[in-house]
Chain A
Amino acid sequence: MARKTPVGRRGFLKGAAGAVASAAAGAASLAISTQAAEAQAPERAVGDHAATPLPSAALSANEKSSPAARVDVYTTDRPGSDFMVDVIKTLNFDYVCANPGSSFRGLHESLVNYGGNKAPELITCCHEESSVAMAHGYFKVEGKPLMVMAHGTVGLQHASMAIYNAYADRVPVYIVLGNIQDINFRRSDVEWAHSVQDAAAMVRDYTKWDDNPVSLGHFAESSVRAYKIAMTPPYEPVVIVADAVLQEEPMPEADRRTARIPKLTLSAPPAGDSGAVAEAARMLVAAENPLIVAGRAARTPQGIALLVELAETLQAAVQDRHFRMNFPSLHPLNGGNIATADVVLGLEVQDFWMATHSMTPINRMGMESRPITKPGAKLITIYSGDLYGKSNYQDFGRYAEVDLSIAADAEATLPALIEACKKLITPDRRSAMQARGAKLAEASKAARERDIELAAYGWDASPISTARVSAELWSQIKNEDWSLVSDVNPFFSSWPLRLWDFKKHYQYLGEHGAYGIGYGAPAAVGAALANRKHGRLTVNIQCDGDLNYAPGVLWTAAHHRIPLLTIMHNNRAYHQEAMYLSDMAARANRGIENFSVGTGINDPNIDYAMMAKAYGMYGKGPISDPKDLGPALKDAIEVVKRGEPALIDVVTQPR
């Protein structure tokens, strides 16, 4: 599409040969001879370096002497970045999250002007870690990756922890890095510092695939490939480098004729081997007390329904480890005891060894472990992590010794497993299973009753108990289409998971992945962005330490009118570390009163309501009296229902 472009927009000073070649190729819409160019006042930006002086009189005179040899090219109607946008649009991203950066300025401009700032729409982020974590939270609600743009150097360095979180949490994030590979195009010392030989190298240990395309056609093919790889289970982040020269220079004539965008066809997720699935079904149906342990079993909303069907078919207990919303919290089969199980089925459990073992208590010196399953218990895993892995970062966990290992995506395998189980269930087995299910239902009901009783302790305490906050919040959201987007296990003593009625995939999103703190606030904003178009009430119970990594994401929520209710879990400490410091002091037999040194977030206390207001959103608090909490929540929910973010600062018990 030809468009008028202001003179000087892309003011490359071209050599005569290059300029003539470009003009001859028709790449430039405005090629001006030096005489014509001279008629225009030379521009010089404030702060230009002394190394780039205005043309000298001698140089001007020399240029005037050979007018035919030189043509300066100022604009193009077809930068390479426009084609990159064509490619990106085929991948159907809703948003692109970015903190602006010069190495992708061409692509940025094309997304806004050529792409119309739609599909994807730019989301302005204040930190690259926020960009990636927003994409992380968004995916877990919407099931679609977002695109992130960042510098290949300093931006990626900021983003790297969030990328590792997404990697460990099996979440695809589509990352496009700017870089200026060709030294001849680096304008300044800044651009030298922002350039790198191999941009993706820094995060290659925790991304699934990357490429550094050297042509626009190459960019198209690798971009489509990257998307396909990211979206094949196990999902993971991917990186594409968008070279700045490819972005900013006119699309070469050769590419105009030949560059094409390949068709994207996503791979069907890998299902388990039919023989292995039949064997798993035989073991499960024959078991007297089977237990299903769910990690990231529900990869899509359909996964919850499949897991319910399997559990009900077998009348087996389900232990949800809450890395995703896997199983309805009030289902009568929710719970179970691994110590009494004779067959344990792990579905996408990254830490299956930890799920089946205990470690020496922290109060003892030395380290020993023992199985917590009973002797002779049979262990089965269905795990897509067995299909893919890397060695440097150790998020893969300890090697699990099991009796049947199925390298496959659990959700894709469940339909065949359910059918295989149904075929094997005899009337006698069905009767035994129903009796088992009735006992499990009683146990589940009793556990819930115990939790309700425990929630009464400390009900009127100040700081406010986390059980009280959870109950107050539930009373006000239970009739809404709500979505809890923060991790509450163990930070909030898991009270929402113990008291609320979780049923839908977007009602609980699990955790960080790699436990990199700073994930919570931006992931919540990203999840709220996904929930916005569905009209859901998004709730974020926000740890204070986490928010202080990159609080600018509050501004992003306000700027983009992202409705989100944030309730501060303001315990005024990096509390996990305070407990560890106490542990270490007790082990060293000294100084147990010094736990707050280096772990407290007090003196002065941070005023989070004021922080929220500073970023342009509704803020209220600090609230220390539990009687004030209900009315404050009511007011804030009204704000959120109007389509804005709101924050309530609640001074809470440590856990």
Chain B
Amino acid sequence: MHKLLLAGLLLTAPAGAQDSTGNAEAGKRIYMKNGCYQCHGTVGQGTIEGARIGPPPLSAQGMIRYVRRPAGQMPAFTEKVMSDRELIDVYAFLKTIPPPKPSKDIPLLNDLRGK
């Protein structure tokens, strides 16, 4: 399993990281093409294999740092296979994902409470 353990990350920018302005449309294509969705879901909702990342809980720099040196079982993706620029685009895509409706406003989920 590829549980992405995000706790305790240093959120400092890696050398060479660019600013956090990315192209969300390109980022979505990269996210799907490179298979990020396999563990994190097509809208970053997370699965048993990978953490929820949409909307992103980290800064862009923090995400890039984690992708380069993951602490959990997520594979490490180097600059060679996924550039900082591409990751910033992915981050821009993840930022476009709205937070979910509160579960108390989803009857099928709210009904689960108290049982």
A465 at the interface (CB under 8 A from B): yes
B35 touches A455 (CB 8 A): no
Cα A589 to Cα B72 in complex, Å, equals 18
B49 touches A655 (CB 8 A): yes
A457 touches B52 (CB 8 A): yes
Q: Known contacts A490-B49, A589-B81, A595-B35: does B101 contact A475 (CB below 8 Å)?
A: no
Cα A428 to Cα B93 in complex, Å, equals 57
Q: List B16-57 residues whose CB lies under 8 Å from chain A.
A: 33-35, 37-39, 41-49, 52, 54
Cα A591 to Cα B77 in complex, Å, equals 11
Q: List B57-91 residues whose CB lies under 8 Å from chain A.
A: 70-78, 80-82
Q: Which residues in A have their C-beta under 8 angstroms from that of B15? A: none
Q: Known contacts A585-B81, A586-B75, A592-B34: does B39 contact A655 (CB below 8 Å)?
A: yes
A456 touches B102 (CB 8 A): yes
Q: Which residues in B have their C-beta under 8 angstroms from that of A591? A: 81
Cα A589 to Cα B41 in complex, Å, equals 23
Q: Which residues in A have their C-beta under 8 angstroms from that of B81? A: 585-586, 589-592
Q: Which residues in B have their C-beta under 8 angstroms from that of A117? A: none
Q: Which residue of A lies closest to B82 (CB)?
A: A592
B72 touches A593 (CB 8 A): no
Smallest CB separation, B42 vs chain A (Å): 6
A579 touches B39 (CB 8 A): yes
B109 touches A456 (CB 8 A): yes
Smallest CB separation, B37 vs chain A (Å): 7
Cα A361 to Cα B37 in complex, Å, equals 20
B34 touches A593 (CB 8 A): yes
Q: Which residues in B have their C-beta under 8 angstroms from that of A655? A: 38-39, 41, 47-49
Q: Which of A216-224, A343-351, A493-501 has 4 or more CB atoms under 8 Å from chain B?
A: A493-501
A578 touches B38 (CB 8 A): yes
Could you say which of B37, B47, B75, B80 contacts A583, with CB atoms under 8 Å apart?
Answer: B75
Q: Known contacts A459-B101, A471-B112, A655-B48: does B75 contact A362 (CB below 8 Å)?
A: yes
A463 at the interface (CB under 8 A from B): yes
B38 touches A654 (CB 8 A): yes
A463 touches B42 (CB 8 A): yes
Q: Which residues in A have their C-beta under 8 angstroms from that of B1? A: 490
Residues 443-471 of chain A: 1 if any B CB is under 8 Å from the residue's CB, otherwise 0?
A: 00000110011111111010101110001
B108 at the interface (CB under 8 A from A): yes
Cα A305 to Cα B41 in complex, Å, equals 38
Q: Known contacts A461-B43, A583-B75: does B106 contact A456 (CB below 8 Å)?
A: yes
Q: Which residues in A have their C-beta under 8 angstroms from that of B71? A: 361
A362 touches B2 (CB 8 A): yes
Could you say which of B49, B73, B112 contacts A452, with CB atoms under 8 Å apart?
Answer: B112
A653 at the interface (CB under 8 A from B): yes
A458 touches B48 (CB 8 A): no
Could you say which of B54, B73, B80 contacts A362, with CB atoms under 8 Å apart?
Answer: B73
Cα A448 to Cα B78 in complex, Å, equals 36
Cα A585 to Cα B39 in complex, Å, equals 15
Smallest CB separation, B93 vs chain A (Å): 14
Residues 567-581 of chain A: 1 if any B CB is under 8 Å from the residue's CB, otherwise 0?
A: 000000001001100
B12 at the interface (CB under 8 A from A): no
B48 touches A582 (CB 8 A): no
B42 touches A595 (CB 8 A): no
Q: Which residues in A have their C-beta under 8 angstroms from that of B77? A: 586, 592
Q: Which residue of B lies closest to A475 (CB)?
A: B108
B103 at the interface (CB under 8 A from A): yes
B38 touches A575 (CB 8 A): yes
Q: Known contacts A363-B74, A586-B76: does B42 contact A456 (CB below 8 Å)?
A: no
Smallest CB separation, A636 vs chain B (Å): 18
Q: Which residues in A have their C-beta under 8 angstroms from that of B45? A: 454, 457-458, 461, 465, 467, 653
A-B contact pairs, 16 of them (CB 8 A): A330-B115, A363-B73, A456-B101, A456-B106, A457-B43, A457-B46, A461-B41, A461-B42, A465-B45, A472-B108, A499-B112, A586-B75, A592-B81, A654-B41, A655-B39, A655-B47
The 5 closest A-B pairs by CB, nearest first: A458-B45, A586-B75, A457-B45, A655-B47, A456-B100
Interface residues of B (CB under 8 A from A): 1-2, 33-35, 37-39, 41-49, 52, 54, 70-78, 80-82, 100-103, 106, 108-109, 111-113, 115
Known: A467-B45, A593-B34. 18 other contacts (CB 8 A): A361-B71, A452-B113, A456-B100, A456-B102, A458-B41, A458-B43, A461-B41, A461-B42, A490-B48, A493-B49, A499-B112, A578-B35, A582-B35, A586-B75, A586-B76, A590-B80, A654-B38, A655-B49
